[in-house]
Structure 1
Amino acid sequence: MARSAALPGWLYVLFLTLLATATDEFIIAGVLREIAGDLSVSVSAAGQLVTVFAVVYALGAPTLALVFARFPRRPVMVAGLAVFVLANVAAALSPGYASLLAARIAAALAAAVVTAAAFTMVAMRAPEGQQGRYLGVATAGMTAALFTGVPLGTWLGGALGWRATFWLLAAVGTLAVIGLLTTAPSVPGGPSTPLRERLAPLRRVAVLRLVAVTFLAGSGGLMFYTYLSAYVAEAASGSGTLLSVVLLVVGLAGLAGALLAGRAADAFGPRRSLRVVIGGHALTLLLAAAFGFSGMDGTAAPAVLVVLIAFWSVFAWALNPPIQGSIMAAAGPEAAMPALALNISGLYLGTGVAGAVGGIVIATADIRFVPLAGGALMLLSFLLTLAPEHTPSSDRVRVRPPGGRTRTRTHGTASTEQSV
């Protein structure tokens, strides 16, 4: 298939699917006060609805991926999305805080299963030489949630009440279910093997090292994103208008970064692309720290800041395609779904660490040290990507198109074969 060939419809359905699951994680942040007032709880208690979702997602992703790894991906995704829809309907109808919390837990577990299965389907059904491109499009769905789904849900919650945000997610999830039923390709599950054998690929040093890369990259990059508004206010005397411009730039540049990273992973291999992405991310964070300490002011400061944030966003949201391609190569198809789920857990745990460490940095120093601390974590992540690669025979994956013959796929220097 030529590189310029049109993308299949099912890939856009997965874009919509990941847009919905990613939006569900953050959407409550925009309606915390409304929820707190309606359910007669504190704002901090309402905020735990976000924390619980993230923690349950992070812990549930690898566990449930092991449970469902041997099942075909399409029915797993359809069933997971159906639970996701019902959980959001339950959230919209929740009479109290406890029932809303339970609905959030159910939605997080469903989203964890769906996300891992979606990325596995993308990686295993992408044509040879286009895995990165396909992963980039799927990843863009998660990125788009930053500047489409979350703001739209927040606006809708303000206009029609916080329950409307969950009805929106249920509606989008329903559309995704219909799309999967009508367009998604068949991707078989893994072999029915004892749990010990299914866990074996997850104990490979290469897989665990890549999960550590994701954890450190998530901690460093999301630390800066978490406190971005405070940084803009301090570094460039940012007004509300400047912050709005910066957030728009983050979304657009991040979307471009996800798509470009997919193309780069196909052209240069996921491991080489991963080093470029992590290295570029570290560099832009250190430049942001330098800008904060420079004391630059005047009319040029906001423009310089916006350009700097744009470059940072490209690298920050370019991580998923090369890291997922690398994980697939290291784990092989027999452990693809659990390995990708473990990687997602690394990212979510990094998100939690980012907020905590960033808060400590601000409390002990000031906001200008946040990108510096984030850059230090990114440098550690980059050092891990420099570890020698190995290609044991157990990491080889057979690529067998439906009705076709087996072929070997090579990602960078790591030879893989993928069973579809």
Structure 2
Amino acid sequence: MYRLLVLTFGTFAVGTDAFVVAGILPDIARSLDVRASTAGLLITVFALTYAVSSPVVAATTASWPRRRLLIAGLLVLALGNVLTAVLPTAGLVLASRAVAGLGAGMFTPTASSTASALVPAERRGRALALVMAGLSAATALGAPLGTVIGTQFAWQATLWFVAALAVLAAAGTALLMPAVAPAPAVGLRTRLRPLTDPRVGFTLLTTLLVFTGLFTAYTYVAEVFDRATGGDGLTLAVLLSVWGVGAVVGSLAAGRLADRVPVRLILRTAIAVVAVDFALMPLSSRYLVSSVVALFVWGVCGWATLVPLQHRLIGLSPEHATVSIGLNASATYLGTAASGVTGAAGIALFGAHGLGPFGLLFLLLGLGSSVLATRLIDDPSRGERALSLPEPEVSK
């Protein structure tokens, strides 16, 4: 159990790094003398590097001992954050976020595969859920705490905080993690093979579009809710914590429901509710009480989509489950990466307070993609092309 908790702490460090920048974005922009939309590219670079590097690293380091790769990923993550804290110009800071994203791409998929190898087959689901709970915990605790540190001291202190988390996780991994044999070597072409099945492709497209919509507003959350916070960092940290608590609630609830309720129903309900929430955000973000409600609903329904999407992918192709889940993680981070650009475009077109309705457009596109995936699943002959898979028993 303690070995899984070490991995959970590592994903907590990765998740804190991924989400904390949004809370200190105005301070970073002022310090580097750039616009907030430009500073938002820090999130884009981190997430894009993670998304692109993750499958490549998994393919090229398949023969590495798992413990070595876990430690290396965490140390690279720490190095990237140290560089972000000390480098003097915006261009160099952007490059440092690529270093941190590479570390995250090395660690997170490896943590999932290691967790699976540490437990019997009948406990793998719970092991994976425990390890990935570190990401949800980061939204509820790590990112708000990092925001408080940044507002009370300086934004650079937040990056030192994340680097310390990564170093502690690396030390725990070195001391407590047993030697785990590397996974069988799988080439990059094999890892990308599930993409040739349009049912998988439209499911991954759903992830990409939904998380682009969700994070279009989150990347610039400080600006979106500035009327409610009055620019106060502590109030913003409380709001981020509310969003994070909602994320934990949504993830856990969706995990339980996915075994009892058709996945299509969970996805459609969650996307529809968060779409209404986003449509009302220009009004709800004016006042603190309504902002709390808006952020909690956003966290619950937004994160309630991820587990059903993973559930659908596993049901479609059990033998490719590890690869499909890895590709889904890449799609999640590609959506996060795109949100820096889409958010900047939304601010230019409609202002920061209009980012909710602007993000709604991507949510509706994601809903459409999910419906198309469901139709292909209902008629497997239309969805199967290159994988020659048996007709799956999948929650739709």
**Does TM, scored on the shorter chain, surpass 0.5?**
yes
Q: Aligned equivalents of 2:23 and 2:243: distance in 1?
A: 18
TM-score normalised by the chain length of structure 1: 0.73
List aligned pairs for 1:9-408, cutoff 5 A: 9-32=2-25, 35=28, 41-43=33-35, 46-94=39-87, 97=90, 99-123=92-116, 125=118, 127-128=120-121, 130-184=123-177, 187-192=180-185, 196-226=189-219, 238=228, 240=230, 246-265=239-258, 267-268=259-260, 272-273=262-263, 275-288=264-277, 291=280, 306-307=292-293, 309-328=295-314, 330=316, 336=322, 338-354=323-339, 356-357=341-342, 363=349, 367=354, 369-370=357-358, 372-386=360-374, 387-388=376-377
Look up the equivalent residue of 2:296 and give its one-letter code: A
Q: Is the 8 A contact 1:132 1:263 kept in 2?
A: no
Deviation at 1:360, TM superposition (A): 5.3
Deviation at 1:184, TM superposition (A): 3.7
Per-residue deviation, residues 19-47 of structure 1 (Å, max 9, x unmatched): 21122234344445655666x65355554
Deviation at 1:92, TM superposition (A): 3.9
Per-residue deviation, residues 28-68 of structure 1 (Å, max 9, x unmatched): 44445655666x65355554433322222222222222222
Q: Aligned equivalents of 1:255 and 1:219: distance in 2?
A: 19
Q: Aligned equivalents of 1:291 and 1:129: distance in 2?
A: 43
SS at match of 2:377: coil
TM-score normalised by the chain length of structure 2: 0.76
Q: Aligned equivalents of 1:153 and 1:232: distance in 2?
A: 18
Aligned residue in 2 for 1:418: none
Deviation at 1:95, TM superposition (A): 5.5
Distance verdict in 2 for CA 1:308–1:154, change over 3 Å: closer
Deviation at 1:369, TM superposition (A): 3.1
After TM superposition, the structure 1 stretch with the greater mean CA deviation from structure 2, 320-329 or 223-232, is 223-232
SS at match of 1:189: coil
Q: Aligned equivalents of 1:358 and 1:288: distance in 2?
A: 17
Q: Aligned equivalents of 2:289 and 2:341: distance in 1?
A: 30
Q: Is the 8 A contact 1:210 1:327 kept in 2?
A: yes
Q: Aligned equivalents of 2:274 and 2:183: distance in 1?
A: 40
Look up the equivalent residue of 1:373 and give its one-letter code: L
Q: Aligned equivalents of 1:210 and 1:11: distance in 2?
A: 29
Q: Aligned equivalents of 1:168 and 1:98: distance in 2?
A: 22
Aligned residue in 1 for 2:393: 413
Aligned residue in 2 for 1:401: none
- What's the % identity of the aligned pairs? 32
Q: Is the 8 A contact 1:218 1:351 kept in 2?
A: yes
Look up the equivalent residue of 2:100 and give its one-letter code: A
SS at match of 1:113: helix
Q: Which has the higher helix share?
A: 2
For the pair shown, the structure with the greater C-alpha radius of gyration is 1
Q: Aligned equivalents of 1:19 and 1:384: distance in 2?
A: 34
Structure 2: gaps (5+ residues):
none
Deviation at 1:72, TM superposition (A): 4.3
The number of equivalent residue pairs is: 381
Q: Is the 8 A contact 1:219 1:351 kept in 2?
A: yes
Q: Is the 8 A contact 1:285 1:374 kept in 2?
A: no
Deviation at 1:251, TM superposition (A): 1.6
SS at match of 1:388: helix
Q: Is the 8 A contact 1:92 1:167 kept in 2?
A: yes
Q: Aligned equivalents of 2:239 and 2:320: distance in 1?
A: 42
Distance verdict in 2 for CA 1:257–1:94, change over 3 Å: same
Q: Aligned equivalents of 2:10 and 2:255: distance in 1?
A: 19
Deviation at 1:231, TM superposition (A): 6.5
Q: Aligned equivalents of 1:231 and 1:41: distance in 2?
A: 20
Look up the equivalent residue of 1:346 and give its one-letter code: A
